[in-house]
Structure 1
């Protein structure tokens, strides 16, 4: 079922990229697909939307897919990283990106943030992009924590999200 969806989305992307290239030569091109919702919850670190209710984000963040100005698929992660009840703990987002054969092409990390020295809740906006010079068709999103800001441990991962 997921393969058929991937093929349909790839065909739509190709048609959209060709149409945009003909209509607006030399300009940035973008074809937007339905975003993939991403909501990751754990004891200390969460990812989702900016609404915080009963110890977790109420809704999801998202992975948005587009065709960039180079004609490559690109994934953009948007949402909010939450740290709660985690005095002086660090957190960050992790996006691993893959080609069409499922081979990992690399990992990009969001900026590291640090919780205050109390048990309060804090959140930070996330806007992470896969490289614009690679054909990215799958991503895996993870939250990570660290007690020292240098050694990181994955906490929760999304599983692979396909274009």
Structure 2
């Protein structure tokens, strides 16, 4: 992301925070940032929207950025996790979140799902939120797979998405 875009987003966040503080004391209000599209494809596991065409999601899921009730930036990942033609394989989403200096603040994992014992396509809803009391300004999103539900390997990852 270019510096101009970061400055523009910071200005929007500041304006939203000032407007909220002046007009609605005691209530949180989300800032408005354009969502970051996220579409990850790898053999057997994909992340995107709910439209499945020719073995992959047609569209993207997204990371949205809001100012939460504590005044911190918060990232939310939404979309669909797809498992296709991987009988009894497990899948889950992975979100690592970072501060403004690029330091990792932690990692969230979505719930593990398991494909049925057939070669069908299955998908599950994803809704992950970074912690609400940390200032998160970067995230990296990955799909992960496992054959046993305990040992996980990353399949595909985004680069870092910046606020």
Name the TM-score, length of structure 1 as normaliser.
0.98
Question: 16-25 or 64-73, which moves further after superposition?
Answer: 16-25
Deviation at 1:54, TM superposition (A): 0.3
Residue 78 of structure 2 corresponds to 78
Mapped partners of 1:33, 1:137: distance in 2: 12
Deviations for 1:7-63, whole angstroms, at most 9, x for unmatched residues? Answer: 210121111012112111111221121000000001110000000000000000000
Mapped partners of 1:108, 1:3: distance in 2: 28
Structure 2: state its 5+ residue gaps. none
- 2:30 corresponds to 1:30: yes
Residue 133 of structure 1 corresponds to 133
Runs in 1 of length 4+ with deviation above 3 angstroms?
Answer: none
Mapped partners of 2:58, 2:111: distance in 1: 23
Structure 1: state its 5+ residue gaps. none
**Is contact 2:99-2:137 (8 Å) kept?**
yes
Number of positions where the alignment pairs a residue of Structure 1 with one of Structure 2 = 163
Name the TM-score, length of structure 2 as normaliser.
0.98
Residue 67 of structure 2 corresponds to 67
Deviations for 1:75-123, whole angstroms, at most 9, x for unmatched residues? Answer: 0000000000000000000000000011110000100000000000000
